[in-house]
Structures are given as C-alpha cells and as structure tokens.
Chains A and B, each alone.
Chain A
Amino acid sequence: MRLERRNAPPASLILLSIGLVVGLMALSGSALIYAAGAPVWASWGAMFTGAFGSKLAITETLTRATPLMFTGLACALAFRSRLWNIGAEGQLYAGALAVAALGSGAIDAPAVVLIPLVMFAAALAGAAMLLGPALLKRYMNVDDVVTTLLLNFIMALFVSIMIQGPMRDPLAMGWPQSMHVLDSITLDKLISQSRLHTGLLLGLALCALLALVESRSVFGLQRRAVGLNPHAAHFAGIPATRVLLWTAVGSGGLAGLAGAVEVMGLRGYVAGDLSPGYGYAGVIVAMLAQLHPLGVPAAAMLVASVFVGADAMSRAFNVPSFIADVMVSLSLLSMMGASFFLSYRVRR
C-alpha cells in the first residue's frame, strides 16, 4: 500500500469530509448523552434550540463566535507559514490587559481616537508576545510550540498579579478583577437587549481582508511559499525571516484583538475567567477552516453553537456541559483524519 499526494482534492471528497466530521460529532455526542443517562433525541433538540432556536439564542451564538473568529484567524495565519502559535490564549489576555490599562481612564480622549488607540495597543501587546517566540525560533532554534505554550501559563499568572494588585478594582466587592473600561470605548450593541456587539463586524471584516491578502498580495504568496517549502522559498529569493516575523506580528495582533473585543464589547473588565480557552479553541477553528480565512467564520459559528447549545442542554437534562469540549476536540481529530484523504490518494 502506498500514498500518493493529491494536487487538489475533488469537491465530492471535500463534501464527504465535512459529512464525516459532522457525522462523528453527532455520533460521539449521542454516545456521551446516552452515557450521562439523558434522552438522546430530546437532548439534541435542547441543544439545537439553545444555539439557534430563538433570536436571543442566535445572538448568543454569534457573541460566542466573535472571539473565536479572531483567535481562529490568528492560528490560521500562523499555521500557514508553519509558525506554531499555540499561545493565542496568552496573547488574548495580553491584549485584554492593554485595553484595561489604557482604556479605564489613563488616557482622556474622544472615543474616535481612543477606540482605535486601545485596539492598536491590544494588537501590539499580542504581537509582542508572539514576536519573542518567533525571534527565538528563527535565531536560536527554540521550539515555538513549547515557548508559546509556556507563555500562556506565564501570562495567566501575570494577569492574576495585575488584577489582584496594581489594576485591581477596589469597588468589585473583593473579586479580583480590573477597573471597568470607560463607557466611551465600550463597543456598541448590534441588536438591543442582546450581548452581540460590533466586534463581530470587525472580525468578519478582518476575515475578508485576510482572504484578500492571502490570495491577492505578494505577502500572501510569500507566506504560503514559506509554509509549503521553506527551502524552496528561500531559494526563490523570498525573505523568509521577514515573512516569519510579520506573520508573527499579524497572528499575535489578531489574538490580542480577541482580548480587546471581549473586554470592550462584552465584559468591560479583565478577570481570570475572561477566556474559557478561546485561544486553544482557535486552533480547532483554524483547522476546521482548513486554514482558510473565509472558512473561519463558519468554523467559529460551528464551535460556538456547540458550546452555547451544550449549555442549554446541560440546563435542561443535566448532561455535563463539558460535552461541548469533547465534541469540539473530537471534531478536530476527525478533521485531521479527513484531511488525510484530502491530501493523499491511497494506492495498492
């Protein structure tokens, strides 16, 4: 038995692979619901109505998808150039801290100036956090997976120091959380009486912009070349180092923005539970989207709907809401399996 590389997978296989991923998700989900002793069909019903059943449910799913879109884009961007950024979680918190530091009264400026300024600062903070590992990878040969992973833990502890110490909100009844950001930089709600905010539009715009950059710009071509074959790219005169570092800046910046929109659009402050693993889920979103920027919104919606739906299901039938995490991580693994058939042809 031997493997043969495919140039482009046929459309029928792509559809089949999506079917495989969704099918495995449904199968594993049913098994877990059954194991929890809940009625399978009714639980799926509760999950679906919880994620899409009403206007409120849909806005909630979109709200949850917003940060996933940013972290998913961040991972997709980095992975395409073979920069293994597993640190989106830490970069998200770096961005959130930057917003809380600058946006809660430290700078007094009109909203038109202040909003872009704090967002830029958040992107910068995230970018700085990834630039370190990228530089270490390039010049010192340090494995980027390990450094970006460890930085997540360092950042989580740093956040804990800041919100218990210098940035603590004295009015928060003893809860460790940062000061509220100014009302002027709070993102507008898209639909009244929901939690959906304009961060969603920013995320969608960035997906479109990145899709253009990837397919229509020199930088996009260089990035893909570096990802496909670094040696060939170098031979073709592509400045691999510059491409890697700019990719790091872009990826870290996007993850930093995820933290910014969560603070400015939803929470209003930084706390230790700002992100329930959006950084790690970003890896899943990126892989489900097959690293394509236009696939990211759909993948983020899928992941978000599983999480929001599982919350509803666990309220209704007492199935642990961790079922969402299991289903989503299984979807990642089944996607890996599917992409084998997409990239290789098996010959006898």
Chain B
Amino acid sequence: MNEAIDLFFTASLWAAVFRIATPLIFGMLGELICERAGVVNLGIEGIMTFGALSAWLAVFHGCDLWTGMLVAAASGAAFGLLHALLTVPMAQSQHVTGLGITLLATSLVSFIYRLAVPAKSTPPTIMPFQPVDLPFLNAPFLAATAPTYLALGLAAVVAYVLWRTPLGLAIRMAGEHPQGAQAQGINVLILRTGCVMVGSAIMALGGAFLSLAAFNSFVINMVQGRGWMALALVVFGAWRPGLALLGALLYAWFDAYQLRLQHVFPGVPYQIFLMAPYVLSIAVLIPMSRRASGPQALMMPFVKGER
C-alpha cells in the first residue's frame, strides 16, 4: 500500500496526467462548442480517429508536424460539415447521424490505412513532437509537448468566446432558444453549421495529438473510446469549459494512477483497471445529470416557422 502512496508523488505521474488529458481536452472542447450551439456530435470518436490518421499520413509523407495538425483539423471540419448538413438544415436525428459519422470515419480509416501502409509486423514511425520547457515557468516535470499547451490555451479561448463575446452569446442562444435567436436576426442554421465544423476540427486535433505527440506511429484502435469519454466530460462539466477541463485532468490523473497501480496489484485482473474509467464515468454522470442544466434546445432540430 505504501507503494501506492509513493506513486502519487512521482514526477512521471504528473507528466502522464497532461499527456493523457490532452486528447480529452481537445475532444471535450470540440464537443462542447457543438452542444452549446444545440447539436450533439456523436461523430467525435470517428472524427478523432480520422484526425489521427490524416495527420500521421501527412507527416509520414513529408509534411511538418504543424501541417499535419492542420490537415487533421481540415478533415475534422469536413466530417463536421457532413454531420451539420444532415442534422441542421435537414433536421435529421443527431444521434443516428453522429453514430453514422463515427462508423463511416472509422471504417474509412481502416480502408485507407490498409491501402496506404503495407502490412508489416511493426507500424512505421515518424519523428513526433518533442517536450518543450516554457521559458518563464521552470517546470520540467510537465515534459509537455506543444499541442498540450495549445489545448490548454484553446480551453481559455473557448471559455472567453462563449461567455464574453457577442458571438458566444449568439452561439449559446442558438442552443438554448433557436426561435428567439432567429427573431434577433441571427441565422441559426449557419451558426449551428459553423459551430459543428469548428468543433469537429478541434476534436480531430485530439486525434492528431495521439499519432503525432503521444505516440510516433498510427494504430487503428488508437483512440480507444476517448471520444466517448470526452462526450461524458461535457456532461460532467455541466457544459462549461472550465469545469470540463478540471474533469479531464481529474480523469487523466485517475487513468495515470491506475496504469501504475496495475503493477502494484498484479493479482487483480488488468481488465478491472481498464474498466474503472468507464464505470467511473457513468457513476459521475448520475449525480451530475440530475441537476445538469444543459442547453435547452440540445438535440432539437430547428425548423424555421415550426415550434
């Protein structure tokens, strides 16, 4: 048990926390933007997977790392456009469309990867993002890469835009009361479409982080349910970027801790540790959902003139 407590204080644990949290922060922020505008995006898991592949393929074929991130964001925005097209002007079920996007994106990833990379026992590698130290903050224990700082900065930007700018007010209005927003002269259909595209681009960055920074190669199942975790984090954070960021760090800390605990308790089946975050997510959602005040028009398609 002592060992379990010692683990708590190691620097590598904290470095791992930020590494694990980064894709979740990107995913959570992207989903949050979509949902604040009133559109649930269940395509997140697939969009992250596609982002991971497209970014990695771009870098593998000679682009630099930031171009890879851009490619991922563009691919995410494309899937976002598809999702928005079906759910916003065409008013189809957001759940089913989103799931369809995930299925399409993940199967496209399998298809493209099989064609682009010859089958070998070990996947080819690239030179990933390296840890950077901030000049003014001497915290080598973070050992974080540039995209991690980008994710943290983006969280601040999203929070600022959503709560301190007219654009943010319009976005939140589109998610709370689209009829009211329309009456104010806001084009709800365009606003929602834009939010889904931007949100999906940010989600894809989370996937790109996995293949360009966390690892140096691409694996088909590398997103491993992180998209769904991000989805749960948005609810956990009551649709607020700050709270959801805290949730992401908390979750990442737990995840980093359990990885190390596995070695301390070899008698327990390792699957129990893998299961814990999912069980925890559901357990946490129960008290949070009860009094959650999500966007009132979430999942409700907006059709002009229809109430």
**Interface residues in chain A, defined as those with a beta carbon under 8 Å from any beta carbon in chain B:** 2-3, 5, 32, 35-36, 79, 84, 86, 136, 140-143, 145-147, 149-151, 153-154, 157-158, 160-161, 164-165, 280, 283-284, 287, 320, 322-323, 325-326, 328-330, 332-333, 336-337, 339-340, 344
Contacts and interface: CB of A to CB of B under 8 A. Distances in A.
Contacts of B304: 2-3
B269 A340 contact: no
Given A161-B269, A164-B269, A325-B110, A149 B228 contact: yes
B111 A333 contact: no
Contacts of B231: 146, 149
Contacts of B292: 141
Contacts of A154: 275, 278-279
Interface in B266-307: 269, 271-272, 274-275, 278-279, 281-282, 285-286, 289-290, 292, 303-306
Contacts of A3: 91, 303-306
Contact of A157 (B82, B114, B271, B286): B271
Nearest to A79: B96
Closest CB pairs A-B (n = 6): A325-B107, A329-B103, A320-B114, A329-B104, A322-B110, A340-B90
Nearest to B110: A322
A141 B298 CA distance: 14
Which of B93, B107, B292 has the most chain A CB atoms inside 10 A of its CB?
B107
Nearest to A324: B107
Contacts of A153: 225, 228, 275, 278
B5 interface: no
Given A147-B285, A336-B92, A336-B97, 11 more contacts: A140-B286, A140-B290, A141-B290, A141-B292, A143-B285, A146-B282, A160-B271, A320-B111, A325-B106, A328-B107, A337-B90
26 contacts: A2-B304, A3-B305, A35-B115, A136-B286, A140-B289, A145-B95, A146-B281, A146-B282, A149-B231, A151-B282, A154-B275, A154-B279, A157-B274, A157-B278, A280-B103, A325-B106, A325-B110, A325-B111, A326-B108, A332-B96, A332-B104, A333-B86, A333-B100, A333-B101, A336-B92, A337-B86
Interface residues of B, number: 46
A157 B269 CA distance: 10
Contact of A340 (B91, B114, B271, B282): B91
B97 A320 contact: no
A84 B95 CA distance: 8
Contacts of B290: 140-142
B282 A325 contact: no
B79 to A, nearest CB: 11
Contacts of B69: none
A154 B99 CA distance: 19
B289 A143 contact: yes
A161 B115 contact: no
Which of A79, A145, A164, A280 has the most chain B CB atoms inside 10 A of its CB?
A145
A151 B228 CA distance: 11
A323 B95 contact: no
A223 B163 CA distance: 41
A263 B93 CA distance: 33
Contacts of B96: 79, 283, 287, 332, 336
B275 A158 contact: yes
A323 B114 CA distance: 11
A35 B115 CA distance: 9
B42 interface: yes
A159 B96 CA distance: 27
A165 B285 contact: no
B232 interface: yes
B26 to A, nearest CB: 19
A299 to B, nearest CB: 14
Nearest to A339: B92
Interface in B216-251: 225, 228, 231-232, 235
A332 B278 contact: no
A332 B91 contact: no
Contacts of A283: 96, 99
A150 B282 contact: yes
Nearest to B269: A161
Nearest to A164: B269
Contacts of A325: 103, 106-107, 110-111
B286 A320 contact: no
B40 to A, nearest CB: 8
A24 to B, nearest CB: 12
A157 B100 contact: no
B98 to A, nearest CB: 9
Contact of A333 (B42, B97, B114, B303): B97
Contact of B86 (A2, A161, A336): A336
Given A157-B271, A337-B90, A5 B110 contact: no
Nearest to A144: B95
A245 to B, nearest CB: 18
Contacts of A86: 95, 99
B289 A142 contact: yes
Nearest to B92: A336
A323 B100 CA distance: 15
Contact of B99 (A150, A161, A280, A344): A280
Contact of B111 (A5, A136, A322): A322
Contact of B104 (A84, A147, A320, A326): A326
A1 to B, nearest CB: 8
B272 A333 contact: no
Contacts of B272: 161
Which of B93, B96, B101, B110 has the most chain A CB atoms inside 10 A of its CB?
B96
Contacts of A284: 100, 103
A156 to B, nearest CB: 9
Contacts of A161: 269, 271-272
